[in-house]
């Protein structure tokens, strides 16, 4: 949510930003906010004037009563009653207008960074840099579900009976490999001085509304029936929500945290949910990172954060690239975002394994996350980044570390987490 002062002082900038995101249907919302805000401020001024008048008249009543001017005192009392009735009306109107303004403001997209490329959708995202040499081996790389089948690592049939499409059992060394990757990613982030956290896996609606747009919530979140609770789609939501309505001391900044959690996603409209593999699923595990910092530090942290993920994947012997998200591909709360994509030798192209974003002060405004500075309180900036998402990281690792006989090399970084094993062999 942007600062309403920006709409008051520079509505054309806000409209231009909406155009850059190809959301022209929202252009009228800027004028609507200005109209409602003008009414609201006029009501506030009227209310303040009436309260001042009430205080003055109340003082006069006391003086008149002491001077036995009862009739005149009663006339003024009647005026005070009338003023009070109008003040009550104004407060109700203000409350309704404030709620309407907030509702609209939460749908107006955040101001994107000047470096964001302009484009309509993800097809116009821009490659920034490649890390590692993408290799296509002389032998054919099978589909990842078939690789897992050879090592006895995947059972989707049983998961279909227990849970339906989009779920899976990981078995044996495949399950152990996922745990090894998560633990390696956790330890890597702890070594970068991030505080390790296991957060709540359910959050309330006020937190959900604070961290994401309504459209994202509808497409992603599972709601717990009969309760004000949602299953998290990613743990950054509960980690950012931890600081809701808090005033943080500047000496405590930046706040850097890394978390483990399962993630649950509806994946509305995802045709790939019925596939036999684990690329698009309803449940996976993830190591995440968030930063809460001063506004002037957020871009520096943004560049540090995505670089951490690149380094982790390179230590897993997986070539990756960074892709700058264009304006039309940015979620409404985001200022700037990049995807980290891993090389798929089977498909001979890259696919998304993580995303890094800075959201400016949008989430902080929605959730009331501020710092106390020398010149008063101010909203902080929030950032998030995927350290490692289990299923997609597993696919990338399998394809890039596969041998022709179906065995899988275990990267050196993971061997201590796999009991010293260097290879996963095919099941006889």
Q: How many domains does the chain have?
A: 2
In a domain, 112, yes or no: no
Considering 38, 72, 105, which residue would you say is the last residue of a domain? 105
In a domain, 350, yes or no: yes
Instruction: Kindly state whether residues 336 and 212 are assigned to the same domain.
Output: yes
Instruction: Kindly state whether residues 95 and 197 are assigned to the same domain.
Output: no
Instruction: Kindly state whether residues 101 and 130 are assigned to the same domain.
Output: no
Instruction: Kindly state whether residues 90 and 153 are assigned to the same domain.
Output: no
In a domain, 111, yes or no: no
Instruction: Kindly state whether residues 45 and 163 are assigned to the same domain.
Output: no
Distance CA 112, CA 318 (A): 31
Instruction: Kindly state whether residues 37 and 67 are assigned to the same domain.
Output: yes
Instruction: Kindly state whether residues 11 and 97 are assigned to the same domain.
Output: yes
In a domain, 253, yes or no: yes
In a domain, 117, yes or no: no
For 263-321, the pLDDT digits (tens) are 999 976 555 666 779 999 999 999 999 999 999 999 999 999 999 999 999 999 999 99
Considering 105, 140, 164, which residue would you say is the last residue of a domain? 105
CATH no. for residue 180? 3.30.930.10
Instruction: Kindly state whether residues 152 and 271 are assigned to the same domain.
Output: yes
Quote the strand ranges of 132-254, DSSP E: 154-155, 169-170, 195-197, 202-203, 222-223, 230-231, 247-249
* Max CA distance (Å), the chain: 107
Instruction: Kindly state whether residues 388 and 244 are assigned to the same domain.
Output: yes
pLDDT of the chain, 428 residues: tens digit per residue: 899 999 999 999 999 999 999 999 999 999 999 999 999 999 999 999 999 988 888 878 777 877 778 888 888 888 888 989 999 999 999 999 999 999 999 999 999 999 999 999 999 999 999 999 999 999 999 999 999 999 999 999 999 999 999 999 999 999 999 999 999 999 999 999 999 999 999 999 999 999 987 677 777 899 999 999 999 999 999 999 999 999 999 999 999 999 999 999 997 655 566 677 999 999 999 999 999 999 999 999 999 999 999 999 999 999 999 999 999 999 999 999 999 999 999 999 999 999 999 999 999 999 999 999 888 999 999 999 999 999 999 999 999 999 999 999 999 999 999 999 999 999 86
Q: Are strands 283-293 and 376-379 parallel, antiparallel or unpaired?
A: unpaired
Instruction: Kindly state whether residues 158 and 254 are assigned to the same domain.
Output: yes
CATH no. for residue 43? 1.10.287.40
In a domain, 206, yes or no: yes
Instruction: Kindly state whether residues 97 and 198 are assigned to the same domain.
Output: no
**What is the model's pLDDT at position 274?**
61
The CB-based long-range contact list for 408-413 (8 Å cut-off, 24+ gap) reads 408/147, 408/151, 409/317, 410/177, 410/180, 411/315, 411/316, 411/317, 413/184, 413/315, 413/316
**What is the model's pLDDT at position 404?**
96
In a domain, 365, yes or no: yes
Please count the other Cβ atoms lying within 10 Å of the Cβ belonging to residue 412: 11
**What is the model's pLDDT at position 59?**
78
Considering 105, 130, 145, which residue would you say is the last residue of a domain? 105
**What is the extent of the structural domain holding 335?**
122-424
Taking only Cα atoms into account, the Rg of the chain, rounded to an integer number of angstroms, comes to: 28
In a domain, 32, yes or no: yes
Instruction: Kindly state whether residues 167 and 195 are assigned to the same domain.
Output: yes
């Amino acid at each position: 949510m942007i600062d309403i002062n920006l709409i008051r002082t520079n509505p054309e900038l806000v409209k231009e930003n909406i155009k850059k995101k190809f959301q022209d249907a929202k252009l009228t919302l800027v004028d609507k906010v200005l109209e409602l805000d003008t009414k609201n401020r006029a009501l506030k001024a009227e209310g303040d004037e009436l309260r001042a008048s009430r205080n003055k008249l109340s003082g006069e009543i006391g003086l008149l009563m002491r001077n036995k001017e009862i009739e005149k005192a009663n006339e003024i009392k009647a005026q005070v009653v009338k003023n009070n009735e109008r003040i009550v009306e104004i407060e109700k109107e203000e409350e309704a207008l404030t709620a309407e303004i907030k509702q609209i403001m939460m749908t107006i997209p955040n101001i994107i960074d000047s470096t964001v490329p302009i484009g309509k959708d993800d097809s116009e995202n821009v490659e920034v840099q490649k890390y590692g040499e993408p290799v296509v081996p002389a032998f054919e790389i099978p589909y990842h579900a078939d690789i897992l089948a050879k090592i006895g690592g995947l059972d989707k049939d049983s998961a279909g009976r227990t849970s339906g499409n989009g779920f899976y059992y990981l078995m044996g060394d495949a399950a152990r490999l996922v745990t090894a990757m998560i633990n390696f990613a956790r330890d890597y982030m702890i070594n970068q001085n991030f505080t390790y956290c296991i957060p709540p896996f359910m959050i309330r609606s006020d937190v959900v509304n604070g961290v994401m747009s309504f459209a994202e919530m509808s497409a992603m979140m599972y709601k717990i029936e009969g309760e004000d609770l949602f299953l998290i789609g990613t743990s950054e939501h509960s980690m950012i929500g931890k600081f809701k309505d808090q005033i943080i001391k500047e000496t405590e900044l930046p706040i850097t945290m890394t978390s483990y959690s399962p993630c649950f996603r509806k994946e509305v409209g995802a045709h790939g949910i019925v596939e036999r593999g684990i690329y698009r699923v309803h449940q996976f595990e993830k190591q995440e990172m968030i930063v809460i910092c001063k506004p002037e530090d957020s871009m520096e942290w943004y560049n540090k954060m995505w670089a951490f993920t690149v380094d982790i994947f390179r230590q897993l012997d997986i070539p990756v690239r960074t892709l700058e998200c264009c304006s039309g591909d940015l979620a409404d709360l985001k200022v700037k975002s990049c995807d980290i994509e891993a090389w798929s030798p089977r498909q001979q192209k890259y696919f998304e394994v993580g995303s890094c974003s800075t959201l400016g002060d949008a989430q902080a405004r929605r959730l009331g996350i501020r710092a106390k500075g020398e010149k008063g309180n101010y909203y902080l900036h929030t950032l998030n980044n995927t350290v490692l998402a289990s299923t997609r990281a597993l696919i990338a690792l399998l394809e890039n570390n596969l041998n022709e006989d179906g065995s899988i090399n275990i990267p050196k970084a993971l061997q201590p987490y796999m009991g010293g094993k260097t290879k996963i062999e095919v099941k006889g």
